[in-house]
A and B are shown apart, each in its own frame.
Chain A
């Protein structure tokens, strides 16, 4: 096949590393959906940078054949934004778990949403800390019994979708690991959205979370496409629907196509990717800068 450039298929996004996730973990579906979505919309492996946090889900950057950066707990988003600032031609995907994004990294999550860079953030939300062997998460329901909350959690769960909407998100979606088709489609739409795409994925932990199981989600999750006339361009409708269903909806919740992404608004930002900059300053420019101090 030498000399013939074929579009990458999802197999081209596979590497030879065997994930260390437990059998049945929801994260396998997220991995597969990212690979499928990337191929479906015509991306090449070297054009993708997958930046992840720490935790079981954070390992995902090592399980997809693309550029990958497994960073610090809670800081996947600042890393990912730095990558995008340097090279806007890259498709930048950030990912991690609910502890990563909504506990230690919550500050960054809100500000990344506000900043609205053209990156996609996929949270694998299992409502528990897996890698540290079963402690409560900011997504655990009140009363949830874990190793760190033996009498049940006495803190309320953070409603992350409402949080995203109120922080000015321009793309908000929620999906579920066992609905591969919907998940793949949501990720495709997220990558194609010109702005920050926030995608929360219910990705059950089969080892430590015996409450929020696949069956539980199947019973409780409402598909937005089943709600007659649901309009994802209305922030008000999105908020109302979320409150109605206590955040347990799946599909595209809200999209604002009008708001320009961060990169489009930067004053003086180079048209080509910043990484292509000439690093030398010409003498006239240098002399001008010097003269301003005289």
Chain B
């Protein structure tokens, strides 16, 4: 009996590989298993190898595994490309149609199943995906009937006969494997799951859900991988709240439209990836200068330029912290799990309103698109905080032609704002340096006062921010401190366990507030470690640079970097870390 295994399905893009993985994983999720899926795909619609690797476990998993137990292949390329990952006792289930072969002398078991033929005999070649699901269920000794609920939810509206046909495809796939079975099968049996109901979702879903729960009622955005799912979810759901999404002509319009709507009082977001963020830099500066709330999601992908649109990377860090000309107050948040992504989306809206500045909610492709099991989210802990908004009744009557002091210098740097339409609240906004009533001013004294006012707003944010650093730091004195941000959380957790098995005292810090930097939180952790390994998906060690700049201790630090487009796996991260300790 296994506590976990990895299953992968592969074939040509556009062949329905996604639906095979989807049906298989939704069913397992409903049985109470924890799943973590990662899709390998290309920036094209049809053709090209694609695969979906799903880790199934009886406890929470947040990373792609190094190894593979079961490979479902719709073409020979899938076997050739992925065979190296398979365990010695691994299993390949392949369509008879392409006369599959595996390397000679291998200990891997090959099941040749007529996916396409069974599907065609049942009247629809597309059902080959169902036959593959059935074959997989037999390998895992799951009852084909356990897929009925999922099949009904997908095909129910097409009628009972379609549901039955698909169920029959699953049954025949399972039967075919059972008829061929030999002793190697028993090793693939999973321990029974707890049967609890949990969510199965991608990070982008959680971010979008967080925005809805946080009171976002409008989104302006331009489609881009890997951010589009946020927009797609909002398009589906915002009308239920009276809101809507505008697909703009470009990212400059997306960001400025969001500024306009936030200025007018509606919580509005936009979401994009690196290329879009490059175009939004002028808007980020405008939001900073005009002290307008603005939340932007950056789902990092491989850069620079068009780069690797469908691959994992974390190389936007510096651009997000420093991007836009001049200096503005800006917040950069980096959730490291799907649950955090949900709650941080709400907090991003709150912080933007409270501090009246741009907030970047940083994600990465692995967090945004990795589909995984999540304990049911709840909104009990959610609060909506809008900061200093003044209503008409709180405003004194304005003398003729006078305007409200929108940019009044205050101790905390945040000035009360009023929403357009409010009587006695008229004020002017400009991206030009301005005085307290928002009129352009180039006077040195005013410049200094306004600049200081803006820049002191975020001084105390690291102290009030909810969990600026996620810490798993049991050791007062550690041999090594592992530091990361965003989706590397799960892989670092497993690396920590592997290193601890070797006898090392390992602490782990996942930085969740990137800017302003939580120096007070990080300094003691770094001081109490002999070695600091900074793990990130980029070539230049951007997080390590930020750490050195804010906390020093450069001599202790080393970088563990990966920028080949694929996510770190625990085994490879462990090996690299061990080599550096």
Total interface residues on A, using CB and 8 Å?
60
Query: Does any Cβ of B come within 8 Å of A172's Cβ?
Result: no
Q: Give the residue name and chain of the B residue nearest to A64 (CB).
A: B428
Which single residue of chain B is at the shortest CB-CB distance from A50?
A: B428
By the criterion CB–CB under 8 Å, are A72 and B266 in contact?
no
Q: Which of A61, A62, A111 has a CB less than 8 Å from the CB of B253?
A: A111
The yes or no answer to B239 lying at the interface (CB within 8 A) is: yes
In the complex, B25 has a CB within 8 A of chain A: no
- Given A70-B432, A85-B257, A285-B240, is A277 in contact with B403 using a C-beta cutoff of 8 Å? no
- In the bound complex, residues from chain A placing their C-beta under 8 Å from that of B239 are 267-269
CA of A277 to CA of B239 in the docked complex: distance in angstroms?
12
Chain A nearest CB from B233 CB (Å) reads 10
Most chain B CB atoms below 10 A, which of A85, A87, A286: A85
| Residues of A close to B29: CB separation below 8 A | 294
* One of B210-218, B304-312, B555-563 at the interface: B210-218
Contacts A49-B264, A61-B428, A281-B213 given: A268-B401 contact, CB under 8 Å?
Answer: no
Cβ of A6 under 8 Å from chain B: no
From the candidates A51, A107, A268, name the one contacting B240 in the complex (CB within 8 A): A268
Chain A residues closer than 8 Å to B199, beta-carbon distance: 290, 293-294
Q: Which of B212, B241, B268 contacts A86 (CB 8 A)?
A: B268
Q: How many residues of B contact A (CB 8 A)?
A: 73
Q: Which residue of B lies closest to A45 (CB)?
A: B426
Cβ 8 A contact of A85, one of B30, B261, B428: B261
Q: How far is the CA of A2 from the CA of B425 in the complex (A)?
A: 18
A283 within 8 Å of B by Cβ?
yes
Of B71-79, B82-90, B242-250, B362-370, which stretch is located at the interface?
B242-250
Contact of A82 among B220, B423, B425 (CB under 8 A): B220
Which one of B200, B261, B428, B430 has the highest number of Cβ atoms from chain A below 10 Å of its Cβ?
Answer: B428
Shortest CB-to-CB span from B239 to chain A, Å, is: 3
In contact, A62 and B243 (Cβ under 8 angstroms): no
**A residues within 8 A CB of B263?**
69, 79, 82-83, 86
A86 to B243, CA, bound (A): 9
Could you tell me the distance between the alpha carbons of A72 and B209 in the complex, rounded to whole angstroms? 31
- Determine if A62 and B439 form an interchain contact, defined as CB atoms under 8 angstroms apart: yes
Name A124-143 residues within 8 Å CB distance of B: none
Residues on the B chain within 8 Å of A85, using CB: 218, 220, 244, 246, 257, 260-261, 266, 268
User: Interface digits, B77-115 against A, CB 8 Å rule (1 contact, 0 not)?
Assistant: 000000000000000000000000000000000000000
Q: Does B50 reach chain A (CB closer than 8 Å)?
A: no
- CB < 8 Å: which of A14, A87, A89 contacts B401? A14
Judge whether B377 is part of the interface by a CB distance below 8 angstroms: yes
Interchain CA distance A161-B265 in the complex, whole Å? 34
Q: Which residue of A lies closest to B377 (CB)?
A: A290
Contact A82 B428 (CB under 8 A): no
Contact with A along B195-216 (1 / 0, CB 8 A): 0011111000100010011110
- B471 touches A (CB below 8 Å): no
User: Nearest Cβ distance between residue A145 and chain B, in whole angstroms?
Assistant: 31
Q: How far is the CA of A126 from the CA of B439 in the complex (A)?
A: 25
Q: Is the CB of A70 within 8 A of B430?
A: yes
Minimal Cβ-Cβ distance residue in A for B380: A283
Is there an interface contact between B242 and A51, defined as CB atoms closer than 8 Å? no
B426 interface neighbour in A46, A79, A286, Cβ under 8 Å: A46
| A-B contact sample (9 more), CB < 8 A, given A82-B259, A293-B205 | A15-B401, A67-B420, A68-B429, A71-B256, A71-B286, A77-B253, A79-B256, A82-B257, A274-B218
Between-chain CB contacts (< 8 Å), 27 pairs: A15-B402, A46-B424, A49-B264, A49-B421, A62-B430, A62-B440, A65-B403, A67-B421, A68-B429, A71-B286, A72-B282, A72-B286, A77-B253, A79-B259, A81-B260, A82-B218, A85-B218, A85-B266, A86-B268, A90-B421, A108-B249, A274-B242, A275-B264, A277-B217, A277-B242, A279-B214, A293-B199
Name the 4 nearest CB pairs between A and B, nearest first. A82-B260, A268-B239, A279-B215, A270-B242
A residues near B (Cβ < 8 Å) are 12, 14-17, 45-47, 49, 51, 54, 59, 61-62, 65-72, 75, 77-87, 89-90, 107-108, 110-111, 115, 266-271, 274-275, 277, 279-281, 283, 285-286, 289-290, 293-294
